[in-house]
Amino acid sequence: MVIYLLKVVGVELGQGRAKKALAAECLEAAQDGFLLVVNLFVLQLFYTSSAVDPVLGGYFLSSWGIILAKFFVAVSSLFVLFASENYVRYHRRHLLEYPIMLLLAILLLLCLVGANNLMSLFFAVGGFSITLYVLVLFDVYTRVSREAAMKYFYLSTISAGFIIFGTFLLYFSTGTAMFSELR
């Protein structure tokens, strides 16, 4: 969905479309896409067993509880996408990047829910944090937005250092980074 929106934005901007109309169209496409994702999670809830299945070589897991958590993330993300219509309607700057950054943040949050490895968890949290930096800094011309983004960046950089150091200590003491084997 993110790749589709990037393609639409690139092609339509090249043809001279207005940014505000294009941003509203991208947000509507994101809302429609996430309605489909929510429906897929509902269908998956009915046809999934309670067993935990490894996905992508065991780096992620899939079970009924994880799918339910992803469903709640998708539903809450859908509320955020619908609440963002006013932002796109009344602001002038960075409208095209907004739906794409929201979708990227939601995708990384869905990866975070099913992570089964310390490194996949770290990369999902790190990527999600980077998208949140950008979203916090969207109104770059206000002092409050710049200050909040810098404070968030400094705090999360220090936290990421502690997390990666703890991950290395845990890996070197146990020899594995999989959550299922760490138990």
Q: Say how far apart CA 64 and CA 149 lie, in whole Å.
A: 36
Mean pLDDT of the chain: 78
Rounded mean pLDDT, 112-122? 86
pLDDT at 162: 92
> Could you tell me the pTM of the whole model?
0.75
Q: Give the C-alpha separation, 21 to 77, whole Å.
A: 22
The predicted pLDDT at position 165 comes to 92
Question: How confident is the model at residue 4, as a pLDDT?
Answer: 64
Q: Mean pLDDT check: name the lowest of 58-67, 74-83, 99-108, 131-140.
A: 58-67
The C-alpha atoms of residue 99 and residue 5 are separated, in whole angstroms, by 9
DSSP assignment string, 45-74: HHT--SS-EEETTTTEEE-HHHHHHHHHHH
Please report the pLDDT score of residue 92 as a whole number: 67
**Structure token pair of residue 132:** 């949140």
How many C-beta neighbours within 10 Å does residue 139 have? 15
Residue 11: per-residue pLDDT: 60
